[in-house]
């Protein structure tokens, strides 16, 4: 990747709906070489996919929680069951495997506290192999971005 590829990535991260002509103009390329570079970035896996960023509150999910999960055991069956449940649960936006005192950090969105309680009772509490769950609710966001530097 060179400087021009990084410029293309920066612009697409800011606005993924740019037409190729608009993108080419912003990065000072003609459209054909610009499109070729974008296709190469896609083919190389640098550009994974294009998405719309949805406002959580406007979409009806104003409550965000970060949940630390520690497993009771780390045998393959427990880990696979937990990770499969995470992948299949739409309220879980992200799951990170951690070092330190917890095994996983989950980012969860729900419409309200009643929905969170329901989520806990029906999803996490019914998942075998979990030893501890520690929840922190978000009451303000200082910075949130998907743009890489």
Report the pLDDT averaged over residues 83-106: 97
Please report the pLDDT score of residue 86 as a whole number: 98
Please report the pLDDT score of residue 25 as a whole number: 98
Please report the pLDDT score of residue 63 as a whole number: 98
Average pLDDT, the chain: 97
Q: What is the pTM of this model?
A: 0.88
Report the pLDDT averaged over residues 91-104: 97
C-alpha torsion 86→115→100→131, nearest 10: -80
Q: What domains, with CATH codes, occur in the chain?
A: 3-43 (1.10.10.10), 63-137 (3.30.70.920)
pLDDT per residue as tens digits for the range 69-79: 999 999 999 99
pLDDT per residue as tens digits for the range 114-134: 999 999 999 999 999 999 999
């Amino acid at each position: 990747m060179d400087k021009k590829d990084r410029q293309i990535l920066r612009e697409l991260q800011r606005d993924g709906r740019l037409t190729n002509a608009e993108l080419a103009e912003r990065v000072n390329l003609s459209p054909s070489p610009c499109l070729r570079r974008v296709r190469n970035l896609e083919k190389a896996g640098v550009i994974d996919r294009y998405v719309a960023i949805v406002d959580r509150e406007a979409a009806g999910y104003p409550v965000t929680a970060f949940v630390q999960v520690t497993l009771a055991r780390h045998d393959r069956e427990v880990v696979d069951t937990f990770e499969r449940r995470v992948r299949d649960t739409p309220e879980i936006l992200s799951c990170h495997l951690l070092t330190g005192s917890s095994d996983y950090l989950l980012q969860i969105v729900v419409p309200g506290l009643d929905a969170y309680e329901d989520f806990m009772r029906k999803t996490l509490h019914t998942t075998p192999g979990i030893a501890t769950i520690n929840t922190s609710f978000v009451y303000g966001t200082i910075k949130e971005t998907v743009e890489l530097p």
